[in-house]
Amino acid sequence: MTAAVDVGFWTGGITYTPAVGAGPATDLEFGAVDANGIGWMLNSFDGMGGPDTVGQVVQQAGDHGGWATPQFYGPRVMTLTVTASAPSWALRDVARATLQQAVPVSDLALLRLDEPVPKQMLVRRSGGLPEKSLNLTDVQFSVILVAPDPRKYGTVLHSLTATQQSIAAGLAPPLTPPITLPAGFPPMAVACTNAGSFETRPVVTIRGPITGPGVVNQATGQKVTFSSLTLATSLDVLAVDFLNRQALLNGAYRTADLSSSWWVLPPGTTTVQVTGTGTTGSQTTVAWRDAWI
């Protein structure tokens, strides 16, 4: 029987899955008692208000004032204060090992915080893992984490799919001539809503057949194109990752046209369209998460 322990009122967790053969996966839940009877309390978490900025104002030569050079958000640094309450002295050491396994040094783990709108970030450990022994079985840790991507993402992955059909599909008599049909095909387009407060970056997956695919942000006119590429069948898949600004064709790296302009999904609704020729039967899926800063 597990003794009752105080696990606090904040909940969340850190999940880490190492590469195959590098060890077991770790799922550490805060505000809960784990399988070893160890109660995990999230005492506090700092750094959610906003990351530091990177950039500067450069002094003008021979004049007053300066030039506002481009400025960007840097990585997000957070500090979690965590208390582990173990049933025994030996299990206190297990708690220490569990936390060390959950926050990798050179890899990324998934941090989830159960706010009114739950948020998640990919993080890794920074510096040491200071601890304070409260007694023989309870220990408090100070966990410093760095999120290379400063965005706070929603835990829900949104996904919309559009399939290219012929413009004439669904027409049936009686029809009164003359009949005028638009040239070509209706666009493969989906309306993507980012319910957060900061821009987010989608992953657009295109399945053939299609020649010269392009991914267009209809609000800005920006597009990422692959004019010399042909996806012959539905087995050919092009995944366009707007966060990392790269594309994979059937799992292999594929460069976009030099004239391409990588775009983002700002807060609100943006229509994403895929263009190309020979597209009957092709399919487009846009996946994204809401984002906050």
Nearest CA to 248 among 257, 236, 260, 266?
A: 236
Mean pLDDT of 157-179: 65
Q: Above 80 in pLDDT, residue 183?
A: no
Q: Please state, rounded to an integer, the average pLDDT across all residues of the chain.
A: 91
Predicted local distance difference test score (pLDDT) of residue 154 = 98
Q: Write the CB contacts of 101 (distance below 8 Å, at least 6 apart in sequence).
A: 16, 23, 26
pLDDT digits (tens, 9 = 90+) for 63-91: 999 999 999 999 999 999 999 999 999 99
Instruction: List 288's β-bridge partners, or say none.
Output: 158
Which pTM value belongs to this model? 0.86
Distance CA 226, CA 255 (A): 8
Angstrom CA distances, 292 to 10, 92, 113, 142, 151, stand at 20, 36, 13, 25, 6
* CATH architecture of the domain covering 158-166+185-292: Sandwich (2.60)
User: What was the pLDDT predicted at 21?
Assistant: 81
Q: Tell me: pLDDT of 18 over 70.
A: yes
> Is there a common fold for 12-52+72-151 and 158-166+185-292?
no
Whether 151 contacts 293, CB under 8 Å: yes
Q: Which amino acid belongs to residue 90? A: A
How far is the C-alpha of 102 from the C-alpha of 14, rounded, in Å?
Answer: 6
DSSP letter at 159 equals E
Q: Report pLDDT for 22.
A: 83
- Residue 20's pLDDT band (boundaries 50, 70, 90)? confident
pLDDT (mean) for 131-146: 96
The CATH code that applies to domain 12-52+72-151 is 2.40.30.200
DSSP annotation of 90: H
Q: Kindly list the domain boundaries of the chain, sorted by start residue.
A: 12-52+72-151, 158-166+185-292
| Predicted confidence (pLDDT) per residue in 198-223, tens digit | 999 999 999 999 999 999 999 999 99
